[in-house]
Amino acid sequence: MKYQIIPVTAFQQNCTLLWCETSNEAAFVDPGGEAQKLIQAVAERGVNLTKILLTHGHLDHVGAADALAKHFDIPIYGPHKEDLFWLEGLPAQSKMFGMEECSSFMPTEWLNDGDVVKVGNEFFQVLHCPGHTPGHIVFFCKSAELALVGDVLFKGSVGRSDFPKGDHQQLMESIKNKLFPLGDEVKFIPGHGPMSTIGYERQTNPFVGEQYPD
């Protein structure tokens, strides 16, 4: 599997274009905005975009999802249904962040813990990781040892939990019980900022790492 991180919006949100090299099938994870730029990236790569995957319902992660789904005539998978209220509130989110109005939309399919999403010959396991938002999910590709963790975990930090239905304790449990067991060597792409590995965060992250017991 190959991937390219394309930061979008004023929030520099990491949209990821990933594709299976054998089938050329591709997916966007969290296309947060700038649909034209993302359409261009697909054309430049010459990949066959077949689906859109969403980690959670925040505007900066889903802003271009509906436009891309319509443009390419492809389905949207995720997040978990607990994030329904965030997707319903997209017009209000756009106003709150002073961004171009984004209409509400529904995914083709909500995802649950344990679901598997296929992109060509690559498989992504779905992990429900609430705390930042109640319906936040993470996509994990075991063969590539790569996780797309949205706003759950960052290099040296963790997601905010001060939004409606956010829960810091739940976020800590998601990281410790769902992400850390994936293995130290697993690389992850966070929703913002540079990549890191599970092992590096397990050891050094000041919010959840083992050097800083709570």
Say whether residue 58 binds Zn ion (CB under 5 A).
yes
Number of chain residues interacting with Zn ion (CB under 5 A) = 4
Which C-beta is closer to Zn ion: that of 1 or that of 53? 53
* Minimum CB distance to Zn ion, residue 194 (Å): 15
Say whether residue 136 binds Zn ion (CB under 5 A).
no
* Minimum CB distance to Zn ion, residue 48 (Å): 27
Which C-beta is closer to Zn ion: that of 1 or that of 17? 17
Which C-beta is closer to Zn ion: that of 20 or that of 137? 137
- Chain positions 68 to 97 lying near Zn ion, rule: CB under 5 A, are none
Which of the ranges 15-23, 60-68, 121-129, 141-149 carries the binding residues for Zn ion, by CB under 5 A?
Answer: 60-68
* Minimum CB distance to Zn ion, residue 132 (Å): 6
Say whether residue 151 binds Zn ion (CB under 5 A).
yes
Which C-beta is closer to Zn ion: that of 120 or that of 191? 191
* Minimum CB distance to Zn ion, residue 143 (Å): 27
**C-alpha closest to that of 190 among 204, 175, 203:** 175
Which C-beta is closer to Zn ion: that of 60 or that of 82? 60
**C-alpha closest to that of 17 among 58, 68, 71, 73:** 68
Positions that interact with Zn ion (CB under 5 A): 58, 60, 151, 191
